[in-house]
Amino acid sequence: LDRGGRIKPCGGAVPPQLMRDFDVPDSVLVNKVDTARIVSPRGHFVDIPVGDGFVGMVDREHFDEWLRARAESMGAERITGTFVSCDRDDAGMLVSFTRGSSRRGTSDRVRTRMLLGADGALSTVARQELPEAAEHGKFVFAYHEIVQSPDDGDPSWAGARCDVHYNGTLSPDFYAWVFPHGETTSIGTGSAHKGFSLRDAVSSLRSREGLEGLDTIRCEGAPIPLKALPSWDNGRDVILAGDAAGVVAPSSGEGIFYAMTSGRFSAQAAIHALATGNPRKLARARRRFLRAHGNVFRVLAMMQWFWYSSDRRREGFVAICEDPDVQRLTFEGYMNKKLVRGNPLAHLRIAVKNVGHLSGVIRA
């Protein structure tokens, strides 16, 4: 059950590990990025090569539909509509929804043994069925503008490079970005600060990057969760996944890989619970996810808490990114989705530099 015509606001980056884990072909990608440019508040930048590989870019408008169509080809029955509520009788669960692409469609109900809520950061399923867990949600609100990319012949345009800006005027607690998607480009920012104008920040970023004259195709905004919920299931017949479960990486805001991974874990847990008649098996999904990615999330959360707190620290963060060891470990971790056990001396050098910036001995 999914709403018709919905496009998830998203930067669209997918790592090679996602393509391996979920058999995603290159043909689904709209671009391959080979460099990330990290830009400091003072305009100092560091170009970080991806190394052996690439970062794939997808357009959610087409990628999400490709996933749905693949699910249908494997036996899923698709219904276009909007979830309203669920209740139960002696025979089990009844899910109420409105058919069609708007909430004013005709009302309908379907009986199910298990409900998997993958309905976004402000999940209606989570608020209804796991209200205590949903209260722990922590969010950044993101906004981006999809624009027509410059011509390939434009010498000032790097179509295979993602730009990430760490600057308090563009985001006081997150970052701003320019992500090329081939024919189009996503220009956006995010912040949890109420009152901060995301639209003005994106307008400023477009001006800084010389992209203000490009045609704007659409503007989108959505909350992004930055903390996994303390529970993903109700211990009976409901389990969450993706943004609804809060599984977006802190610091980076990366969500597609983690949404799909949590979706797989939650589906497997649901199947196991149904097969055994033991709903406590639903809790395995969250445990599996945190066992695989919890350490990465904790490290990224600490990074965001410290490095994104002031422009002085953002300058230090960009300076640290000049280190080849940092670059290698960062992209190896990103590409393979795990903390890298690298050269101990490299970790020591990075630790010393971090301590230097933390103590003020080293200044950007």
Q: pLDDT (tens digit, 9 = 90+) per residue, 283-318?
A: 999 999 999 999 888 988 988 898 999 999 999 999
Q: What is the mean pLDDT of residues 212-241?
A: 94
- Determine phi and psi for 24, rounding to 5 degrees: -90, 120
Q: What pLDDT is attached to residue 156? A: 81
* Average pLDDT score over the chain: 89
Q: What is the mean pLDDT of residues 30-52?
A: 92
Q: What is the mean pLDDT of residues 87-111?
A: 88
Q: What pLDDT is attached to residue 354? A: 52
Residues above pLDDT 70, as percent of the chain: 92
Q: What is the mean pLDDT of residues 39-46?
A: 95
Angle between helices 324-336 and 344-359 (to 10 degrees): 110
Q: What pLDDT is attached to residue 361? A: 47
User: Nearest CA to 145 among 121, 177, 97?
Assistant: 177
Confidence of residue 3 (pLDDT cuts 50, 70, 90): confident
The angle formed by the CA atoms of residues 318, 323 and 326, to the nearest 5 degrees, is 85
Residue 260 pLDDT > 90:
yes
Distance (Å) of CA 63 to CA 56, 66, 102, 244:
12, 5, 22, 19
- The answer to whether residues 126 and 191 touch, using CB atoms and an 8 Å cutoff, is no
Q: What span, in angstroms and rounded, lies between the C-alpha atoms of 110 and 271? A: 19
- Determine phi and psi for 199, rounding to 5 degrees: -65, -45
pTM exceeding 0.85: yes
Residue 332 pLDDT > 80:
no
The model's pLDDT over 309-331, given as tens digits with 9 standing for 90+, comes to: 999 999 999 998 888 877 877 77
Residue 352 pLDDT > 60:
no
Q: What pLDDT is attached to residue 232? A: 97
Query: pLDDT higher for 4 or 109?
Result: 109
Q: Which of 70-74, 85-89, 327-331 shows the lowest mean pLDDT across its residues?
A: 327-331
Confidence of residue 83 (pLDDT cuts 50, 70, 90): very high
Q: What is the mean pLDDT of residues 193-218?
A: 94
pLDDT winner (highest mean) among 154-158, 231-235, 300-304:
231-235
CB neighbour class for 9 (10 Å; exposed up to 12, middle 13-18, buried from 19): buried
Q: What span, in angstroms and rounded, lies between the C-alpha atoms of 355 and 66? A: 46
Q: What pLDDT is attached to residue 43? A: 93
- The answer to whether residues 289 and 261 touch, using CB atoms and an 8 Å cutoff, is yes
Summarize the chain as % helix, strand, coil (round to 5).
40, 25, 40
Q: What is the mean pLDDT of residues 101-125?
A: 90
